[in-house]
Chains A and B, each alone.
Chain A
Amino acid sequence: MDFLLRLEQSGFSTWIRESSSLFAFPGVLLLHTIGMGVVVGINAGIDLRILGIAPALPLAPMERFLPILWVGFWVNAATGVILVVADATTKLSNPDFYVKMVFIALAIINLRMLRNRVFRDPLIDKEPLSTNAKILAVTSLIFWLGAITAGRLMAYVGPVSNGIRG
């Protein structure tokens, strides 16, 4: 707890939390939301295509969007760390935060499995998609929905800092 308190009271954390600059808390949060749109959006686009939406759209070129997804992911990892550090004692004592982390871990593992099963398959776009791929698409959507819900609820359940409702 001492360590968390020191993190939270560092100059950087205080600036993020208390500065009126739009580059501090508002800007970091904005990047976190844009990153969410990129990561979850592109992943959901791939999932929906696997589930049969837009059948004329070939799946293989979708892989080109994965690097953008990863940029979004690392933006969100970095901004996420900043948001946690700035409010460390509260955020890290909120069980909902760990629920969110579990959902994100599951979603990322799911994405890697999906990539191995679908994009690494030499018969992609030549044969109908396996049931396995469709199940992975459904679980992917569920995990991301869980992550978004848990993320949003961090402003409402468990300990919540006044003024930092994200």
Chain B
Amino acid sequence: MNLAHVHLLLNHFPTIGFGIGLALFFVAIAAKNEELKRASLLVFFLMALVTIAVYISGSAAQNLLHNRPDVAPGLVRAHEDAAFWALVFMELTGFIAWLGLWQFHLIKRLATWNTVTVLVLSILTFAVTARTANLGGDIRHPEILSEQQSATDDGAGVPDVARSVADFVTGHAWAWPTLETLHFVGLCMLFAVVLIVDLRLLGMAKKFSFAALYQLLPVGMLGFGINLVTGMMFFISTPEQYVKNIAFHWKIALVMLAGINALYFMLVDEPWLVGSGDDAPASAKFVAASGILLWVGVLFFGHMLPFIGNSF
């Protein structure tokens, strides 16, 4: 099995999953049902997480299809361009949805600004994602192509923002070190929040109540956001360093798991019972310990990109 299989396995999730989430969100808004709104936001966040893997595996599939006579480069290029926008909108929606989920705990409902922003973004996201899926389908199903879309198109005239980003990063000597520095800044923000929250649950600085620590979570999420943007810019600029790199596959897999791990604090009420001076329940300690381990694992495999894998 290679990453192209992973792409085929996962590539329907963003469109179909997100569509289900959007339908759920419409119903929830019409019915003014706060719990249902929360469920829709959760679906959006999970789809944003899966989309990272879909984009990366798609790039690997593109790599495998390179120079195949039966595959039109123009169609692949158009799909790649659409996928870039789908990724951007999907991650933006996921980020705002996460903020909504976070704020939900504080005000016991979904904030109006969040409902409106997520609604607009999710409609746009669904449109660009569906377009991406459709263009992706064209690659392997030429029977649905119209007359104008020639299957032998070489792709030279097709706009491709992902390639423009790549050209910018690789074309400016300062771009890569700047992105690396920002990646380290994001790392510090994220790792600090992981350490402080998880070590408290494990028994350190027990004077902190969970409710007080909860306020720190957006700092960690912002750090993750910085690292997702800078990380994807590395990936888009030199995908060949990553798509066949086993350390990178592990890193992304652990990021997915760590994202799910972080949801515990957003969705489960149990840690909220941990007041100032209280001992956390065993399940919270398990989540906390696994959170630290997962992020150390992400750091490990990130670091091993050039040593186990083939980067740089």
Of B140-148, B202-210, B257-265, which stretch is located at the interface?
B202-210
Residues facing A in B173-219 (CB within 8 A) are 173, 177, 180-181, 184-185, 187-193, 195-196, 199, 204-208, 211-213, 215-216, 219
Q: List A contacts of B204 (CB < 8 A).
A: 64-65, 68
Find the B residue at minimum CB distance from A62. B205
* CB < 8 Å A-B pair total: 105
Contact of B212 with A58 in the complex, beta carbons under 8 Å = yes
Cα distance A37–B292 in the bound complex, in angstroms: 12
Contact of A56 with B181 in the complex, beta carbons under 8 Å = no
Q: List B contacts of A61 (CB < 8 A).
A: 205-208
Contact of A40 with B188 in the complex, beta carbons under 8 Å = yes
Contact of A53 with B219 in the complex, beta carbons under 8 Å = yes
Contact of B205 with A65 in the complex, beta carbons under 8 Å = yes
Q: A1 an interface residue at 8 Å Cβ cutoff?
A: no
Contact of A38 with B216 in the complex, beta carbons under 8 Å = no
Given the known interface contacts A42-B195, A44-B189, A61-B205, the answer about A34 and B212 at a Cβ–Cβ threshold of 8 Å is no
Contact of A152 with B181 in the complex, beta carbons under 8 Å = yes
Cα distance A45–B191 in the bound complex, in angstroms: 10
Q: List A contacts of B177 (CB < 8 A).
A: 152-153, 155-156
Residues facing B in A91-115 (CB within 8 A) are none
Q: B168 an interface residue at 8 Å Cβ cutoff?
A: no
Binary flags per residue of A121-143, CB closer than 8 Å to B gives 1, else 0:
00000000000000000000000
Cα distance A48–B196 in the bound complex, in angstroms: 13
Q: A57 an interface residue at 8 Å Cβ cutoff?
A: yes
Interface of A is mostly: helix
Size category of the A interface is 35 or more
Q: List B contacts of A48 (CB < 8 A).
A: 219
Interface size on B, residues (CB 8 A): 35
Q: List B contacts of A45 (CB < 8 A).
A: 192-193, 196, 216, 219
Contact of A57 with B191 in the complex, beta carbons under 8 Å = no
A108 CB → nearest B CB, Å: 16
Find the A residue at minimum CB distance from B308. A22
Contact of A54 among B199, B216, B312 (CB under 8 A): B216
Q: List B contacts of A156 (CB < 8 A).
A: 173, 177
Q: B299 an interface residue at 8 Å Cβ cutoff?
A: yes
Contact of B196 among A40, A42, A148 (CB under 8 A): A42
Given the known interface contacts A22-B307, A149-B181, A152-B181, the answer about A68 and B195 at a Cβ–Cβ threshold of 8 Å is yes
Q: A161 an interface residue at 8 Å Cβ cutoff?
A: no
A75 CB → nearest B CB, Å: 13
Contact of A44 with B215 in the complex, beta carbons under 8 Å = no
A56 CB → nearest B CB, Å: 5
Can you name 21 A-B pairs with beta carbons within 8 Å? Answer: A29-B303, A30-B300, A34-B299, A37-B192, A41-B188, A41-B193, A45-B196, A45-B216, A53-B215, A56-B215, A57-B216, A61-B207, A65-B195, A65-B205, A68-B204, A144-B188, A145-B185, A152-B180, A152-B181, A153-B177, A156-B173
Q: 9 smallest A-B Cβ distances: which pairs?
A: A41-B192, A54-B215, A37-B191, A64-B205, A61-B207, A26-B307, A40-B188, A61-B205, A41-B188
